[in-house]
Chain A
Amino acid sequence: MFTEDLADFFDTDEFAVDATYTKAGGGASSVTGIRDREFLAALMVESSSPMFLMPLSSLPSGAAHGDALVVGSDSYTVRGIHRHPDGFPDCVLLKLGEA
């Protein structure tokens, strides 16, 4: 069976960054992933659509909407947890909102 090696993909010497994932009930974990902030015009308001892609194996057990993710100086609330997004079967894509 083919096992994907994600270490090279989530390399902090490349595009990945370290972050802290904290469940709403408490318990912080260090995670590594790739943050994206694509421009978005939501209902004619300039916005961004922050996302965080990380290995599914790094997602803390019991992760849920309302958890917190801190990336550098930016604090987010997890608004969506999309496991196995297209093209990244062993990953999870977090939809984020500003905390």
Chain B
Amino acid sequence: MADHVRKQIRAAIVTTLTGLSSTGTRVSAARVDDHPTDKLPAIVVDTSEGGDIEAASIGGAGRYLERNLTVSVTVYVKAASGYADTVDQCFKEIEIALAGNQSLGGLCKFIQPLNEPQVEISDDSEKPVARARQNFLVPYITALNAPDVAH
């Protein structure tokens, strides 16, 4: 059995965002450990924000569900100066990459930003650290009894 489509979407977004000019291969999914300073800027893709589910058809266990998944893309930057510009450059590249892969190979209906990046700054360290998060709406459809197959 394949992975849940949600996990497939997460992995597909990681793949889509890997190789961008600013962040290169420093892209991971649902990361919980700290980022080494020499591996920045970096991107983390997460689906922990969830999203609502609506019935898309009637019927038994095979009826369809429309799932409105929220995917958060978080950028981590550490720089003595210019971190705000780096954050904006990263999200420019992220938005363009996701716009160019709207169905993630048939996994979802589209990908759309839900908000402007929310930026947190910490100056407690030897260089300022910025953590910026932008959420994307990623609707997809599965059957009730087959959450591993996208329709």
* A interface residue numbers (CB < 8 A to B): 37, 40-50, 76, 79, 96-99
Count of chain A to chain B residue pairs whose CB atoms are closer than 8 Å in the complex = 56
Partner of B126, one of A41, A43, A44, A97: A97
Q: Determine the chain B residues whose CB is within 8 A of the CB of A99 once the complex forms.
A: 80
Determine the chain B residues whose CB is within 8 A of the CB of A40 once the complex forms. Answer: 124-125
CB A40 to nearest CB in B, in angstroms, measures 5
Q: Which residue of A lies closest to B37 (CB)?
A: A46
Question: In the complex, are the beta carbons of B126 and A45 less than 8 A apart?
Answer: no
Other A-B pairs, 17, CB within 8 Å; known A43-B122, A50-B126, A97-B123: A42-B124, A43-B129, A43-B130, A43-B131, A44-B34, A44-B131, A45-B37, A45-B78, A46-B34, A46-B35, A46-B36, A47-B78, A47-B125, A47-B127, A97-B126, A97-B128, A98-B127
The interface residues of chain B lying within 8 Å CB-to-CB of A46 are: 34-37
In angstroms, Cα B129 to Cα A44, docked, is 9
Give chain B's interface residue range (CB within 8 Å of chain A).
10 to 19
Can you list 19 A-B contacts (CB < 8 A)?
A40-B124, A40-B125, A42-B129, A43-B76, A43-B120, A43-B122, A43-B129, A44-B34, A44-B76, A45-B34, A45-B78, A45-B125, A45-B129, A46-B34, A49-B124, A49-B125, A97-B128, A98-B126, A98-B127
B interface residues, Cβ below 8 angstroms from A = 34-37, 40, 76, 78, 80, 120, 122-131
